[in-house]
């Protein structure tokens, strides 16, 4: 698995994640300081995935290098747009542009990553992919928070240097073309589509609610960055240990039952934490401990079941984006009608409970599919 081509790809992946995570890790505190409300931040998150969906539906023929160059350029454009925010419309435009980055980078990266991964190492390889982000998220937010306390301009300077490194490494990657039809891509993931969609809806908790509502308790860049690093640290060790373990057992889907049930239980407890920083920190840490493992196993399950990655990965990304869009839309409505939000946690808890219920139905009752 660790041949030269794969190592080169991982170095590129690391550089891009550093570039993006470092520059965005303490942005919620920056938006708050600029006068944006919780509701406006949530609607901005909705636009991220609306943009990604539009790109997935329209840009269906690209080469990997062009797409990765565009990913880096659109993220730099996002940074330029938020350096000095004059209106909420500029903020929304920046969010829309950042959604294009998701499409341009991750569709091609996921294909390249798993095509270079032996079948028997998919769990470990998936752990490397998600664990890398968690590892960077331990370091980058604290560093970014420290710099922001001195001068926010230092964030933009360091981000520009990261841009140049990432741009150079793109030229060293293997170039390949991707063509797909939307209908064929969705058909390819038929056996796992409902799970991907439910995952996307539930992820409103970690994409929108936790990062934004934490501002109710923590408002300074350094302490916010420290909190984000704490969340990342919670998932680093568990990701790598379980990824290797599931490869040995070759029964990844078994772990999804206790994982999703635990995630549902923690989600249902969040309403009690909306005015208690101690409980909020504990529950957020618990979710962050479980989340990378869940991402690892659920992604490996999709790859195991759908060998045609040129169709499966775009289908997964499209379904996941629709789920995230719906979840964040419901979250935005929840923030409008209730402060602090409570009902949204009950909705998301029920959604993630459907995951093991449908998995059991498909495998034990209906016996329609088998999952590794």
Q: What is the pLDDT along the chain (372 residues), one digit of tens a residue?
A: 457 888 899 999 999 999 888 888 888 999 999 999 999 999 999 999 999 999 999 999 999 999 999 999 999 999 999 988 999 999 999 999 999 999 999 999 999 998 888 777 776 777 788 778 888 888 888 888 888 888 878 888 888 888 899 999 999 999 999 999 999 999 999 888 999 999 999 999 999 999 999 999 999 988 998 898 888 888 776 776 665 565 555 566 677 888 999 999 999 999 999 999 999 999 999 998 888 888 888 887 788 777 789 999 999 999 999 999 999 999 999 988 877 788 999 999 999 999 999 988 877 776 655 655
The structure tokens listed for 250 are: 């070759």
Q: What is the pLDDT of residue 212?
A: 92
Which domain range does residue 160 map to? 4-369
Q: What is the pLDDT of residue 256?
A: 85
CATH code, domain with 237: 1.20.1250.20
Instruction: With beta carbons less than 8 A apart as the criterion, state whether 149 and 222 touch.
Output: yes
Rounded CA-CA distance 79/41 in Å is: 16
Q: How many domains does the chain have?
A: 1
Q: Would the pTM count as exceeding 0.85?
A: yes
Q: Please, where are the H alpha helices in the chain?
A: 4-24, 27-33, 38-58, 64-83, 88-115, 122-150, 153-170, 182-188, 193-202, 204, 210-213, 221-249, 252-269, 277-305, 309-337, 343-360
In the DSSP assignment, the letter for residue 175 is: P
Q: Beta 61-63 vs 177-179: how paired, if at all? A: antiparallel
Task: Give the Å distances, CA to CA, from 54 to 49, 57, 326.
Answer: 9, 5, 15
The structure tokens listed for 140 are: 């980058």
């Amino acid at each position: 698995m660790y041949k030269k081509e794969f190592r080169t790809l991982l170095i590129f992946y690391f550089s891009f994640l550093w570039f993006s995570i470092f520059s965005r890790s303490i942005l919620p505190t920056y938006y708050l300081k600029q006068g944006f409300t919780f509701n406006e931040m949530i609607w901005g998150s909705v636009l991220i995935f609306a943009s990604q969906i539009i790109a997935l539906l329209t840009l269906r023929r690209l080469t990997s290098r062009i797409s990765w160059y565009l990913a880096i350029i659109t993220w730099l454009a996002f940074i330029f747009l938020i350096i000095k925010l004059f209106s909420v419309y500029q903020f929304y435009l920046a969010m829309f542009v950042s959604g294009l980055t998701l499409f341009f980078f991750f569709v091609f990266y996921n294909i390249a990553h798993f095509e270079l991964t032996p079948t028997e190492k998919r769990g470990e390889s998936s752990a490397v992919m998600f664990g890398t982000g968690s590892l960077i998220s331990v370091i980058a937010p604290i560093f970014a928070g420290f710099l922001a306390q001195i001068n926010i301009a230092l964030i933009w300077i360091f981000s520009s240097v990261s841009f140049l490194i990432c741009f150079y490494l793109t030229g060293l990657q293997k170039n390949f073309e991707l063509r797909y039809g939307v209908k064929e891509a969705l058909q390819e993931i038929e056996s796992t589509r409902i799970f991907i969609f439910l995952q996307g809806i539930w992820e409103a908790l970690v994409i929108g609610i936790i990062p934004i509502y934490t501002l109710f308790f923590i408002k300074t860049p350094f302490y916010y960055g420290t909190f984000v690093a704490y969340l990342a640290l919670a998932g680093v060790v568990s990701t790598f240990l379980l990824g290797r373990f599931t490869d040995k057992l070759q029964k990844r889907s078994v772990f999804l039952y206790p994982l999703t049930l635990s995630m549902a239980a923690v989600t249902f407890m969040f309403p009690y934490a909306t005015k208690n920083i101690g409980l909020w920190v504990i529950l957020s840490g618990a979710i962050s401990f479980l989340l990378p493992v869940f991402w690892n196993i659920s992604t490996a399950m999709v790859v195991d079941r759908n060998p045609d990655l040129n169709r499966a990965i775009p289908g997964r990304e499209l379904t996941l984006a629709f789920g995230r869009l719906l979840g964040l839309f419901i979250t935005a409505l929840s923030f409008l009608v209730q402060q602090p939000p409570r009902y949204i946690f009950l909705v998301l808890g029920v959604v993630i409970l459907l995951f093991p219920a449908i998995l059991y139905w498909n495998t034990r009752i209906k016996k329609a599919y088998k999952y590794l």
